[in-house]
Structure 1
Amino acid sequence: MAFPDIFTKEVTDSVIQRINLLTPEKQPQWGKMNASQMLAHCSVAYEMIYENKHPKPSFVMKFVLRKFVKKSVTNDVPYARNLRTAPQFLVSNIKDFAKEKIRLIQYLQQTQQLGGAHFHNRESHSFGPLTQEEWNNMLYKHLDHHLRQFGV
């Protein structure tokens, strides 16, 4: 299953439309996060791209991530429900819904404006260089998974 191309304006706009259907009161169909926490959680992937806020994994951890995790994160198979998340992606504190929504939308727009060619063979935080398709799969399927979690 090929995922829609997150680097195109049409797909980015459709994801933003789905985000705009969220409300702070919207309940998840599975999992423990509320809508505000989910938005913050989805932004972590973009923080790893655009901000120097998360420590890079050690050499050994990066090897483990490349060997055992990379394929499941970057392939075109949707995530199953209730999977454990990496520690850096855990969000358990209270978040401001409006702020998190704006932040995620800004990351999406920035990514789309840079375009897929910008990401081709770019070093990822945890997996080394990724192809444009791997970046697309990783970013789109994570967003889609959590938007489906909240019924949008």
Structure 2
Amino acid sequence: MNWKNLFDEQESKETIEPIQNLTPETQNKWGKMNVSQMLAHCNVAYELIYTDKHQKPKGLQKFLIKLFAKNLVVGPKPYKKNLRTSPIFLISDEREFEKEKTRLIDYITKTQQLGGAHFDGKDSHAFGALTEKQWNTLFSKHLDHHLQQFGV
């Protein structure tokens, strides 16, 4: 499947538009997260790049993540509904809707402005070096999955 190129300014804006249409009352079509938790969940993918908030996996744990999860995350197939997520992405507490929404839009914008060349060959949190295309798939597929989850 071809995912939106979030390194492209126009396609990035097309991804941000439905996020801007979310409200605190937007209901999910499946899953357990409310809309604020979903936004916080999506922010984790960017926190892994732009912050040191999350400890990196090492040794056997990193090897197993690369072996079993990498292709699922950066491969072309869409995520299935209610797919189990990594513990680092679990959001169970309440989050502030506007704060999480703004953070996500800012992360998408920052990523687009840095551009694909910035990410090409850059190490990910758990998968090692990824190509520009793999980085884009990681970002775009995850956002698309959760925007569908909330019907926008």
Superposed pair shares fold, TM > 0.5: yes
- Give the superposition deviation at 1:67: 1.0
The aligned runs of 1:48-127 (5 Å cut-off) are: 48-127=48-127
> 1:151 maps to which residue?
151
- Give the superposition deviation at 1:117: 0.5
> Residue deviations 1:47-72, cap 9 Å, x none?
00000000000211110011111001
Equivalent residue letter for 1:149: Q
> 1:35 maps to which residue?
35
Check whether the contact 2:8–2:112 (CA below 8 A) recurs between aligned residues.
yes
What is the rounded CA distance, in whole Å, between the counterparts of 2:119 and 2:50 in structure 1?
12
Task: Classify the secondary structure of the residue corresponding to 1:108.
Answer: helix
> Residue deviations 1:67-109, cap 9 Å, x none?
1110010011110100011000000101000000000000000
Report how many residues are paired.
Answer: 152
What is the rounded CA distance, in whole Å, between the counterparts of 1:61 and 1:134 in structure 2?
21
Q: Which runs of 5+ in 2 are unaligned?
A: none
- Give the superposition deviation at 1:3: 1.1
**Identical columns (%):** 54
What CA RMSD, in Å, does the superposition of the two structures yield over aligned residues? 0.6
Check whether the contact 2:4–2:12 (CA below 8 A) recurs between aligned residues.
no
Q: Which runs of 5+ in 1 are unaligned?
A: none
The aligned runs of 1:7-22 (5 Å cut-off) are: 7-22=7-22
Equivalent residue letter for 2:46: Y
Equivalent residue letter for 2:79: Y
- Give the superposition deviation at 1:142: 0.2
